[in-house]
A and B are shown apart, each in its own frame.
Chain A
Amino acid sequence: MTRGLHAVCLAALAFFMLVPLPAFSQDNRIVVGSKNFMESKLLAEIFAQLIEARTDLAVERRLGLAGTQVCFEALRTGAIDLYPEYTGTGLVSILRQPPTGDSRTALNVVRAEFLKRWDLWWLTPLGFENAYALAVPRSRTDDFPLRTISDLVKIAPSLTGGFGYEFINRPDGLPGLETRYGLTFQRVQAMQQALKYQAAAAGEIDVLDVYTTDGRLAVYDFVLLEDDRQFFPPYEASGLIRGSTLAEHPELGLILGLLANAFDAKTMRELNYRLQEGGESPEVVARDALSALHLLTGDAAGNQPVPHREGLFAYAWSKRTTLMRRTIEHLSLAGLALGLGILLAVPLGLLLERHQTVAETVIRGIGLTQTIPSIALLAFMIPVFGIGMLPAVIALWIYSLFPIVRNTYSGLRDAAPQAVEAARALGMTEWQILHWVRLPLAAPVIMAGVRTAGVITVGTTTLAAFIGAGGLGVPIVAGLQMANTTVILSGALPSAALALMIDGFLGKVETWVRPRGV
């Protein structure tokens, strides 16, 4: 009767033991991180390939971490050794200082403060700024010539601004800009970065925020307004590296120093264009950029062209090794989280059935975790658990708890009350009632909870990409940035297929644990 349930527990346990634990960084390994936008990935890839070409160190890539906070916490806690960062971001977002100062002041302030507070080093800047700028489609300037932001102030009350979410909230973005220039728009529309350009070209918005090295500026005919009151802080691109890593591998300072002043804004715009519009991968573009600087050693310079804009199946086939690895990562993350979820939630459900007075309160509390947006939950994980597999599994595990606890508790509580009453009246102990009556009768309901949790977990695991845990979310996030449906689908379709498979498999288990006679 309970044989089925025992087998399921054993299978879960075996799976849990077989899943590889996250690899922790070793001495001869440099972990390079990046944020989740193309230029950051490109710069990280340039760092990584340069280190690989000029040292014996192995490089592990943790590209596409979700934003400044994630990257910086990862670096501070030693989960990564190095990532590309901008001086302005260091000053405003990390140090929370007012957005003022010219580029030299900004660099010196962040250098001194980062060294003092965290022993983190800013490399010599790479030679370009990726600062904010306001842009207006050239067609809009026909009847009112615009050159500077001060010019814009006069007509802004009749214009619609389309800005990124970050820009709207950052002190060195829209709020500061409004104060410094006295700028007010008729309407401000929050928009995703990739959509703003199209919206501007279509005349939906009149003004947008751009990054000065954005590749799309090469194709869209936009006027970049001069920041005549020097409001936008300098965003010089640089590398941010741990002091302990430099102490261990001093040669890294020298090697990465080769990139000092190596790129200007125009070069970066062209490189970004190849990534954003050309659909090329950061590996290829980084290799070309390093080759052009003659920084790669002989054989590393040769590259094979990566096909793009091909059919979904051809693309997926060309990426099959990577996709297979991503699928395994995905399943490991989801399986581990679900296994741990079962290990906690089922006993908790059993316990709550014995303490029904507090049960609803506890379950409602666990239910609240479902309302935390997943990206926020991941962000909470980083200060405590760093990045990679551990925080991802913990976050997914938290999401898996609710359906299992809820179903275990309800299943046990509502299991055949007459049979439970008879069992008690004939002298079964409470333990025997649980073991022989409640648990077998509740097993299908418990499995239904596990099944729900399984499908939720497989879906949510796509977000693990944001904290460098891999999985099928990696191609989805990359594809979203490149606005490349093929790449998105190469992650989304296997992920959906996995969810269906898990649902089908757990549905089978559900039938299998259903005792005969019920």
Chain B
Amino acid sequence: MNPSVLSIRGVSKEFISGVRVLDRVDLEVVEEETLVLIGESGSGKTTLLRMFNGLTHPSSGEVCIHDEPVRVKDPIDLRRHVGYVQQDAGLLPHWTVEENVGLVPLLLGWEPERRTNQVQTLLDLVHLDPERFRARYPIELSSGQRQRVAFARALAADPAIVLLDEPFGALDAITRHELQRQFLSLKERLKKTMVMVTHDVDEALRLGDRIAVLKDGRLLQIGTAPDLLNAPAHDYIVQLLRHRSHGDHS
């Protein structure tokens, strides 16, 4: 098995209001795997994701990258080396596609020429014609195109780790399916370590190498799609799997 890249050890999170969103969660993400965190709203999945790049910190327990606690890392430097995609793309509306994709290289102080080349490569990678799209503003793109730009932006500085917060959540069914297909082929080619949050069980089964099921802040089960389908560890997981559409998950 590949070595562990990300690890969560005994992590709990309580907000100031006293609400407990994570309760003693342990999990590992190994190199080059895609781990999907699935659960309904309030299950704590997004909070967990945001701990990997220091946007949130646990109340107790430890979050580590390559066995080094996130808490002691410089958060700005950490985030520049971890890709991040969010549900609504989150593109800067007043920056062009080229400027948006080149954001992290700019923060890292790359030369303009290197930035331009990288933007070109990445737009090709996400199937957006650089000549047509580089000068456009987000408002001039469809939601699917915006999400591709967000992917390109997350990958721009070639991070080893990519975090994805419901990246297909705001798309229509056809676009979502197409982007998921391209995501799978990129995943094979790029060999990144990825953590993705979703509430869509089909998406989880389709894209995840392993799937972690969260409910009310507790980790119920973690395993591959066949693990979950063949040996669900909890009634909730049985129910959850019932919700999948009978389609082409593999």
Contact = CB atoms under 8 A, between A and B. Distances in A.
Partners in one complex: yes
B86 A426 contact: no
Interface residues of B, number: 30
A432 B76 CA distance: 11
Contacts of B103: 423, 426, 428
A515 B84 contact: no
B75 to A, nearest CB: 8
A429 B107 CA distance: 9
Interface string A425-461: 1111100100011001100000000000000000000
A367 to B, nearest CB: 30
Contacts of A516: 94, 137
Contacts of B95: 1, 517
Nearest to B154: A426
Contact of B107 (A418, A427, A440, A517): A427
Given A426-B103, A426-B107, A432-B107, A1 B94 contact: yes
Scoring A421, A425, A441 by chain B CB atoms within 10 A of each residue's CB, the highest score goes to: A425
B130 to A, nearest CB: 18
B194 interface: no
Scoring B94, B107, B154 by chain A CB atoms within 10 A of each residue's CB, the highest score goes to: B94
Scoring B76, B138, B154 by chain A CB atoms within 10 A of each residue's CB, the highest score goes to: B76
Given A425-B53, A425-B55, A517-B95, A419 B104 contact: no
Interface residues on A, range: 20 to 34
Nearest to B90: A422
B84 A425 contact: yes
Nearest to A1: B94
A384 interface: no
Contacts of A416: 92-93
Contacts of A518: 93-94, 139
Contact of A517 (B55, B84, B89, B96): B96
Scoring B55, B91, B92 by chain A CB atoms within 10 A of each residue's CB, the highest score goes to: B92
A432 to B, nearest CB: 7
Contacts of B218: none
B104 A427 contact: yes
Nearest to B94: A515
A320 to B, nearest CB: 46
Interface string A89-108: 00000000000000000000
Nearest to A515: B94
Contacts of A440: 94
Interface in A388-425: 416, 418-419, 421-425
Nearest to A424: B55
Interface string A500-518: 0000000000000001111
Interface in A472-518: 515-518
B196 to A, nearest CB: 15
Contacts of A437: 92
A297 B153 CA distance: 86
B94 A517 contact: yes
Nearest to B55: A425
Contacts of B76: 427-429
Contact of A419 (B78, B92, B140, B163): B92
Interface in B189-241: none
Contacts of B55: 424-425
Nearest to B137: A517
A441 B94 contact: yes
B18 to A, nearest CB: 20
B93 A426 contact: no
Given A425-B55, A440-B94, A517 B138 contact: yes
A437 B96 CA distance: 13
B92 A423 contact: yes
Given A421-B86, A516-B137, A426 B104 contact: yes
Interface in B47-87: 53, 55, 76-81, 84, 86
B90 to A, nearest CB: 3
Interface in B89-123: 89-96, 103-104, 107
Interface in B132-148: 137-140
B88 interface: yes
A274 to B, nearest CB: 65
Contacts of B137: 516-517
Nearest to A440: B94
B183 to A, nearest CB: 19
B139 A517 contact: yes
Contacts of B81: 427
22 contacts: A416-B92, A418-B89, A419-B90, A419-B91, A421-B86, A422-B90, A422-B91, A423-B92, A423-B103, A424-B55, A424-B79, A425-B79, A426-B79, A426-B84, A426-B154, A427-B79, A427-B107, A428-B76, A441-B94, A515-B93, A516-B137, A517-B139
Given A426-B103, A432-B107, A516-B94, 15 more contacts: A1-B94, A416-B92, A416-B93, A418-B86, A418-B90, A421-B90, A422-B150, A425-B53, A425-B84, A426-B84, A427-B79, A427-B80, A441-B93, A441-B94, A517-B140
Top 6 closest pairs, chain A to chain B, by CB: A422-B90, A517-B137, A427-B80, A515-B94, A427-B79, A425-B84
Interface of B: 53, 55, 76-81, 84, 86, 88-96, 103-104, 107, 137-140, 150, 153-154, 163
